[in-house]
Amino acid sequence: MHKKVKLTYICLPGVIMYECLFGRAPYSSNTFKELVDKIQRQAPIEIPSKASISPGCRELLLRLLQHDPNNRITYEDFFSNEYLDLQHMPSKENYEKNALH
C-alpha cells in the first residue's frame, strides 16, 4: 500500500474511537457548510472538557486525529501502542466459547 494512503487510513480508527467515546464525530456540525469550514481551516479537534479518559487514551486519540498525515501516529506505533493492549484481545476461540453459552 502506498505510504500516503496508509497515513490517511490510520486516521479512521481515531474517528471511530472519538465517536464511541463521545457520541459524536470529531467535527460535529449543524450544517454541511459548517463542517466544510472546520475541515478547510483545519480547526483543532477538541476533546470534551469533562471527558473522563486516561492520558494514554487521550494521547492515542490526538495522535490518530492529526490533520497533517505526516504528523499522525505510524502503523507500527499504533499497533504497538500500550493503550491498545493487543496481547489480550479476544481470540476466535474465546468468541466461540462465549457465544455457545
Across all residues in the chain, what is the average pLDDT? Answer: 82
pLDDT in tens, 75-92: 888 888 888 777 777 777
The count of other CB atoms within 10 Å of the CB of residue 6 is 13
Residues 6+ apart with CB under 8 A from 93: none
pLDDT value at 58 more than 70:
yes
pTM of the prediction?
Answer: 0.72
* Residue keyed to cell 466461540: 96
Domain 3-99, second-level architecture: Orthogonal Bundle (1.10)
SS3 77: helix
